[in-house]
Amino acid sequence: MSKKVLIHSIVFAPDAVSTAYLYNDIAYNLKKNGFEVEVLSTMPHYNKVESDLVKTKFKRKFLGLYYTSDYRGIKVYHVPQKKYNSVLLRGFIMIYWHLLSFFLGLRIKNVDVIISPSPPLTIALVSIALAKLKNARFIYNVQEIYPDFFVNQGKMKSKSVLNMLKKLERFVYKHSDSLITIDQNFRDTLAQRMEDPEKIEIIANFVDTELYHPISNPVINRSIFPENNTLKVMYAGNIGFAQDWEPLIEVAKKTKEMPVTYFVIGDGACRSWLKDEIEKHNLNNISLIDYQARESIPHIINYADLHFIFMNKKLEKDGLPSKVYTIMACKKPLLVISNKNTPLYDLLENTGAAFLIENSSNDVSKELFAVLKEALENREQLKEMGEKGFDLVQQHYTKEKVTEKYYKHIKDLINS
């Protein structure tokens, strides 16, 4: 009888976000390698792309209490979830998701391993309870470190709530059979908070190189992405607090009269602020564009000459943007603002695949201007940088190589 893995994640296909893509591929690789796999998730709510939603057949269960779908032969349970502005409503719908996913999880039989990615931290409580009741092993995949992320965002004002979350964090680490995290920086942070740091396994995130690859003549909407000789500088992803958007505004002001165009594609908590700043300063060199369908993203990435990731220095130690792998897989160079001893800086340092500017620099916008001026004068250098990033991905970060590590880790855990 094949072993069963239950993936318990707040996002999964067809939600169009990086963690969903990551776990879509992990789930399929585990199935391909002989595991039985089921997924416990939500209805798409984080980033809904209509073309993806249309392709998915959702089956309504118990008057809409939950839904099911099929992802490449894998059964997925979807609990309704929505985005609300109200903190009270967000709290209520999150409690609803936790409770209903627990009871749905109880109905899934013969589970050997449960794996859950953060965030949220509280998802691990449900997974731990299910694992104990089912005599299964539990793997907690730390994609972002909580409650650090809340604290560094400045959202955590209550000391009593913070202390409670820290106790919850320690409880989760103690009762997890294994922790998977994405780099050495994360491992060092977690090790200080654990009784048994040997439980930590480092497995980097990855990119689907079948989807993301160099494209000589990208097929794109030319009304949004015009064909011209300007230096095209792009960001595609969540427009949130993890990034610092002020350097973009400042460098866009300085380069208004230069043949440089900026494209910001996506949505998130900072989009309205960014839109207001663009309008206030009449920055016609910045195009703010809605999320695009996933299949069009490789073409869009290949359209740009340079991709930027400007990390918020308060949050840069708490996560690693997975888009860095997709960009390098398309042979495109990066322009990064981040400090040393952070996951993103450590990944790219000494690779030759990125322009790296430290967040602590006295004049970040001046350094950005110098980089863009250099890029305009030497387009060939950008191609060479893209080649180096592409080689790095092929060596270490392909979907096949990394999902194989997940498979081996889960197999070893079951047999231990």
What pLDDT does 402 receive? 93
Task: Please give the model's pTM, rounded to 2 decimal places.
Answer: 0.81
Report how far residue 116's alpha carbon sits from residue 119's, in angstroms, rounded to the nearest whole number.
9
**392 and 405 inside one domain:** no
What pLDDT does 154 receive? 65
> How far, rounded to the nearest angstrom, does the alpha carbon of residue 365 sit from its chain's CA centroid?
26
Tell me whether residue 221 is in a domain: no
CB-based contact 247:308 (threshold 8 Å): no
**259 and 381 inside one domain:** yes
Which of 118, 139, 183 has the alpha carbon at shortest distance from 396? 183
**389 and 405 inside one domain:** no
Tell me 26's DSSP state: H
pLDDT (tens digit per residue) in 272-306:
999 999 999 999 999 999 988 878 999 999 999 99
Tell me whether residue 218 is in a domain: no
Report how far residue 252's alpha carbon sits from residue 233's, in angstroms, rounded to the nearest whole number.
11
**127 and 254 inside one domain:** no
Joined tokens for residue 355: 């322009």
What pLDDT does 328 receive? 98
**56 and 145 inside one domain:** yes
Q: What is the mean pLDDT of the chain?
A: 92
DSSP of 58-77: PEEEGGGTEEEEEETTEEEE
DSSP of 202-251: E----B-TTTS---SS----TTTS--SSSEEEEEES--STTB--HHHHHH
CB-based contact 3:35 (threshold 8 Å): yes
Number of residues assigned to the chain: 416
**44 and 169 inside one domain:** yes
CB-based contact 139:179 (threshold 8 Å): yes
CB-based contact 327:351 (threshold 8 Å): no
**180 and 251 inside one domain:** no
Report how far residue 188's alpha carbon sits from residue 301's, in angstroms, rounded to the nearest whole number.
33
**23 and 131 inside one domain:** yes
CB-based contact 14:72 (threshold 8 Å): no
**46 and 76 inside one domain:** yes
CB-based contact 372:260 (threshold 8 Å): yes
Tell me whether residue 225 is in a domain: no
**9 and 157 inside one domain:** yes
pLDDT (tens digit per residue) in 146-197:
777 666 666 667 788 888 888 999 999 999 999 999 888 889 989 999 999 9
Tell me whether residue 367 is in a domain: yes
DSSP of 95-112: HHHHHHHHHHHHHS-S--
Task: State which residues of the chain have pLDDT below 50.
Answer: none
3-state SS string for 162-206: HHHHHHHHHHHHHHCCEEEECCHHHHHHHHCCCCCHHHEEECCCC
The whole domain housing 10 covers 4-206+398-415
CATH number at residue 165: 3.40.50.2000
